[in-house]
A and B are shown apart, each in its own frame.
Chain A
Amino acid sequence: ALKPNPRKRKPKYDLPLPSIHDHSHVNSGRQACKRHELYVSFSDLGWKDWVLAPSGYSAFYCDGECLYPLGSCMNATNHAMIQLVVHLLKPDEVPKACCAPTKLSPISVLFYDDNNNVILKKHRNMVVKTCGC
């Protein structure tokens, strides 16, 4: 029942026991890996009479920590888990697992050309749909 001595630092490789409600890294201000969105309205660009649809563009990107891929709110590949363990063992040789797109989705745009013809362009696998480690 003795309390551990607060001065004594925890060893670096002390992995916390995974638990389904482990949000400690989120509370410490470090966001878990997820998709972020920077939305740009076409009205802001003065394109309202040019682009019929969509009404704006979502510049999705992936950002966040992959320190504890075993946490409940993170999807991580097996590869990321292994990479994290190896990184903890050899931090100088193997980088941490990174937060990256795992699924891409298509995007379409409807706009007028110079001759007032309407054009629909479809681009497959062009914007980030989900992120993961």
Chain B
Amino acid sequence: HQAQGVVHSSFRRLSSREKKEMQREILSILGLPGRPRPHPPLRPPSSAPLFMLDLYHAVSAEGDEGNGIGNEVGGLGHAALPTLSTHTPPLGTVVSEADTVMSFVNLVEQERDLLQPRPYWKEFRFDLTPLPQGETVTAAEFRIYKTLTMGQRANRTLHISVYEIQRESKHREPELVLLDIQSVPAGQEGWLAFDVTSASNRWLLHPRSNLGIRLYVETEEDRSLSAGWVGLVGRRGPRSKQPFMVTFFRASQVPCRPPR
């Protein structure tokens, strides 16, 4: 509407009582929490919002036309943020059937890099406390951006694997469960999407079990490389390329619209 400038906001013409009622209806219909977030950060990461905005437009277009564009949406999601991998699960139906999609950016990063003994790894931990209760995870992805780095043999193949960290103890290596692995050419650039659905389900049911995920990079000759060295962007990278997680949910009960 705004783009067409056809319909103007009529809010100002309402009386204060009507304004309150209208606001209450909007919050209820859109399933929004009772109030805006307290302190918007000055410069939040923009990678997740850009991805989610893309998803929003695809989902809205699907709603308007009433036709299933599931596969297209899956493709679209990738088209907007091209990934290097063909292993990503088919998100089309997952996106079409999702009631809620959440992206997580609050990130704790640790890594073992060039200054320490191999194998090198990088850990990512998201704050998943806001996971909506009463909804089930249908799919979850960890997205990280790979840039081009100097000194890389472009045709070399990198094997990037992501593990869920289970049961950590101070004196021993944690237990790791493989979630996904992608083989990517060292000379290409773009988003990588790793399927972390099984870990997300566990974290939703047992929030304390969320110890994060660990990422390893190896060459064909099983030589361990540092994530930063092969161009994987961390939370100190450009805002539009910082890593994030996205989780798709289905609601267990169908919300009904309150009468106006």
Q: Give residues in A with beta carbon < 8 Å to B.
A: 37-41, 43-47, 49-59, 61, 105-127
Contacts and interface: CB of A to CB of B under 8 A. Distances in A.
A118 B48 contact: yes
Interface stretch (B55-63, B142-150, B154-162, B230-238): B55-63
Contacts of B38: 114
A98 B42 CA distance: 51
Contacts of A125: 257
Given A39-B10, A52-B56, A113 B33 contact: yes
A43 B36 CA distance: 13
Contact of B106 (A107, A116, A121): A116
A108 B59 contact: yes
27 contacts: A38-B22, A40-B11, A41-B11, A47-B36, A49-B36, A50-B40, A52-B52, A52-B53, A53-B57, A55-B2, A56-B9, A106-B63, A107-B29, A109-B30, A110-B52, A112-B37, A115-B127, A119-B52, A119-B101, A120-B52, A120-B98, A122-B100, A123-B29, A123-B30, A123-B31, A123-B255, A124-B254
B99 interface: yes
B160 to A, nearest CB: 25
Contacts of A54: 60
Nearest to A112: B37
B17 to A, nearest CB: 15
Given A38-B22, A50-B37, 12 more contacts: A39-B9, A47-B36, A49-B40, A52-B49, A54-B60, A58-B1, A106-B63, A107-B29, A108-B56, A118-B52, A119-B52, A120-B98
A45 B11 contact: yes
A107 B63 contact: yes
B44 interface: yes
Contacts of B26: 40, 45, 57, 59
Nearest to A104: B257
Interface in B3-45: 7-12, 22-23, 25-26, 29-33, 36-38, 40-41, 44
B9 A117 contact: no
Contact of A113 (B25, B37, B59): B37
Contacts of B100: 119-122
A26 to B, nearest CB: 21
Contacts of B9: 39-41, 43-44, 56
Contacts, number: 139
Contact of A116 (B7, B8, B31, B37): B37
B124 to A, nearest CB: 15
B64 interface: yes
Interface string B127-146: 10110000000000000000
Nearest to A113: B130
A116 B33 CA distance: 14
B44 A116 contact: yes
B14 to A, nearest CB: 8
B260 A105 contact: no
A116 B41 contact: yes
A23 B26 CA distance: 35
A39 B8 contact: yes
Nearest to A49: B40
A49 B129 CA distance: 22
